[in-house]
Structure 1
Amino acid sequence: MAGTRRIITTPEDAQKMALDTAHWYILGRTRSAFERFKDGLKTLGIYSAMVENKELFLDVMCHHDSPMMAENIKEAFQPSLHPPGSNRRSTENLLLCLWENFIFEAMDDESDVSLERILFFATGVKSIPPAWSEAQSMSSVPA
């Protein structure tokens, strides 16, 4: 499928075939999907903006491995609370305190639960996505 068929007579031939196959597997196989993605970005002018302002789109389009912090989890789950002074708000405040204690205990190395496992259980993702900002956080999660 990769079009790298050739007669191998030397170790260099084998290495060349392996490199060609890897190149096809990584780049050639996904080329049409990448081109369709670029065409979609071009329809609204986003592609040209990305090319002109690469540094601005880097955080949005590329994953950066960073250690999970309790603040990340707290920012990801911003509940909508009832007005202060209401009966429900006092219960919500108690639950928020328990939630924060649970998150900070999960940071402990001796804990069976990790922040990554909490995020995966609640959202299905193992790390915070690049485009996940406070504006895009899960504010609809009930308290």
Structure 2
Amino acid sequence: MYLFTAVREDQYYMAGKMIAVSVVHGGPGPHFRSEDLVHYLAGQASFKATVASVTDEDIGKVLQEIENATSVDVLRECVMKHSTLLQRAGCLRHVSTVEEKKDIVSDYLRWYIIDRNSSVLHRFKDGLSALHFLEAPQQQPTLLSPVLCHIEKKLTALDLERLFKPDFSSSGSNRRLLESQTVEFWADYLLDCEGLSILIFRTTCDKTL
């Protein structure tokens, strides 16, 4: 997402540099980028984005409408109806076959994900180049995906339990006994809640990041 304040303060470069420094020193990656964007950063030409990649609900509906066109006439009507949106992305064209809907959607997706953000992506990529972080992924592109790509992993009781580290009292004391029982109750509670909406309610999240 393009944010003028972030551009002015060069935050995209700093974000890339922070990620590079973290990963090079054995820290975690952000796991928030789309696979197509990661491939672009790694210098790969492949682009397989789908309408589901669009976070803007209104734009997603427009692309879905174009994608669902069943005839040339319907497609032309969709193109004219949304001509302003398509023209902004350089995707407005005269269509002669219904199959051209795939090219229109694909071209728009590339503009939406990459082209319209090219300036900030360039700075983000400059930041990722810190400590030669990008050199290896550009030679072996598959190395970058596990670090930057968004990966959905269902939130489990064990994930939540590992977020906390008990600060126990001295071993053998009465307080230590009570604290150990409390930790056991907490683990049992999390296990009982696993898979239930209460875990989502307590964390406001149904996936790990």
SS of structure 1 residue aligned to 2:192 = helix
Alignment of 1:73 with 2:160, yes or no, is yes
TM-score between both structures, scaled by the size of structure 2:
0.46
Tell me which residue corresponds to 2:105: 18
- Aligned with residue 128 of structure 2, among 41, 46, 52: 41
TM-score between both structures, scaled by the size of structure 1:
0.62
Q: Compared with structure 1, are the counterparts of its residues 100 and 58 closer, same or farther at alpha carbon in structure 2 (3 Å cutoff)?
A: same
Higher relative contact order (CA 8 A, sep 6+): 2
How much has 1:2 moved relative to structure 2? 0.5
Tell me which residue corresponds to 2:188: 101
Q: Compared with structure 1, are the counterparts of its residues 59 and 117 closer, same or farther at alpha carbon in structure 2 (3 Å cutoff)?
A: farther
**Distance (Å, rounded) in 2 between the aligned partners of 1:29 and 1:12:** 25
Tell me which residue corresponds to 1:82: 169
Letter in 2 for 1:3: G
Tell me which residue corresponds to 1:127: 207
Letter in 1 for 2:92: R
Give the length in aligned residue pairs.
122
**Distance (Å, rounded) in 1 between the aligned partners of 2:157 and 2:135:** 37
Q: Deviation per CA, 1:29-78, whole angstroms, max 9, x where unpaired?
A: 33333322210011332222444565655433233333433222222222
**Distance (Å, rounded) in 1 between the aligned partners of 2:176 and 2:91:** 66
**Distance (Å, rounded) in 2 between the aligned partners of 1:3 and 1:128:** 37
Tell me which residue corresponds to 1:113: 198
In structure 2, runs of 5+ residues without a counterpart are: 1-87
The farther-off stretch of 59-68 and 38-47 is 59-68
Letter in 2 for 1:127: K
Is the 8 Å Cα contact of residues 157 and 191 (structure 2) preserved in structure 1? yes
Letter in 2 for 1:23: R
List structure 1 runs of 4+ shifted beyond 6 angstroms.
Answer: none
SS of structure 2 residue aligned to 1:100 = helix
SS of structure 1 residue aligned to 2:151 = coil
In structure 1, runs of 5+ residues without a counterpart are: 130-143
Letter in 1 for 2:208: I
Q: Percent identity?
A: 27
Tell me which residue corresponds to 2:90: 3
**Distance (Å, rounded) in 2 between the aligned partners of 1:10 and 1:52:** 40
The farther-off stretch of 50-59 and 71-80 is 50-59
